[in-house]
Structure 1
Amino acid sequence: MFIGNGRKQRSVLRRRPQTPAEKSISYSSVKYILRNPRLCGYRACIPQELRERSGRVDPVEYLVERTDGTPVVGKWETIFTPEEWRELVNVLDSRKNTGKGRKSGTTVTKRLLTGIARCGNCGAGLVSAMYQHGTPSYEKHGYYYLCKVATGGCGKLSRSGPPVDDHVERVLLDHLRKQTRDMTSTVKEDPELEAAKAKLKQIDSDKVEARQLRADDELSLAEFAREIRRLEVKEQELKESASALFGTPIRTGSTAARVVREWDTYTVDMKRAEITRSLEAVVISRAGKGGAQRGRFRPELLEMVWK
């Protein structure tokens, strides 16, 4: 039915359900709902400008976090604990990674750098394999990465796996620690952000005062409701403004601190997801004739290609 008043028409459109009653909700919609940090009590803030420009964006990337990486918790009833929600998000993330390196029918990738490490000779993604049982290499390392002809490579490169994995992890964590330090420095030095934080603190004080005035019956219910609504609108505007000061890289500082802190508890798939957020590839060059057989790991032969 046509409604002449444009404002009323927009209001009706907003009240319509996203999924018609006769249709099932889509997988992408369910996934988007399940990835909302609010389900476990965490606050998320997606700038309105970004919503209008990009449409639906991943709310996991826009957690409201303190400078030490700890999430800001809201006061509402939740349906997950933070641990349950993170486990759910990790499962959803693992299902996006369908490349080589996992058994058929599973979402688990066995090796850290399968497909991420690339041959410096031909550029093909490396696969992993086990050394032969009973050999010194098997006892020392267990597995190795190789450029395989059967998967489109040149077949001219192989490297013991654990030393490569350990090196990449160390370099990545050092990189994330630096991002954390840079973010902390930016937060301390940015006067505009400091001003926004001071205003948010004042809003909290104003809310407390309004509640006290209402409790003392010095504000009518209507006056109290209007004042709280005004403060909430102002608070949301300030939070969006503060997020915009950082732009898209807002994730890198606070989330980097959390990744470094929790790294040892991550599964292989979780670590791979974090590696691919920062790295395009790890290029491994050939060691030269006999160079890889001397029992010495040579980190200079690994090149990190950062995003």
Structure 2
Amino acid sequence: MQYPVQGQWATILTVEEWSAIRAVFDSRKGYFIGRDMKIVKPHQPDYRDHTYMLSGILRCGRTRPDGTLCNTPLRVNRKKDAGHHTYTCLSKSQGGCGGVSRRGDMVDEYVSEAVLAKLEEAAFTASAKQSSWEREEELEEVKSRLDELTRQWNAGNISNDLFFKLAPGLEQETARLRAEAAGFAASVELRQSRASTDVAEIRRRWYLPEAEGGFPISTKRTYIREALHAVIMYPAGQGQKIFNPDLLQPVWREE
């Protein structure tokens, strides 16, 4: 709950009046307001989409005098004459340290590639899971028994009655296991194809303009949030202008 700040001068509002106005504003938070000043409907979840990809995800990695990290979420600065944005730690008066700043477009590209590589790795791992059929040995054993039975019959060691009594069952079992093996191989191939296509499509749309079917910032942030807790940005050093990706530490979520 917020309380009014009482100064040492003549008041404009009483505490009761201030509280009444505050209550009106609080009741309208998260809603669209019509021209008649009445509440219309709630905002959509993505009503206030972030303008920049890593706002609130990047955190300051500068070490404080007590040995702890600053860990302040970085803000975005954009100068009129600059062709890019900058991620910067808040000033000390705002709760940060003001000691970390980095060119935003390069940071965005590095984190994007790290997340896309993580998605590709996960897709490859998923497609590789159980790529070998677990009943392969059983099929080989049935085939071996049928081959041995046939050899014994051809050599005259077993009668026609015994051979034609045992062979059909082994042949049917062989055919059944072969069909199962073919179905498993087809499902593995389909899973691998889908995984490869899905990630390739994500990568393709990641860098496309939104007007051409590219992902909006909100979608990219969703992928990043699913992969990462945060990205810690360490100081680059006084006057250092060369982008060093080693000074960015992704904090991955456990799989």
With the length of structure 2 as denominator, give the TM-score of the two structures.
Answer: 0.49
Question: Which of structures 1 and 2 has the bigger CA Rg?
Answer: 2
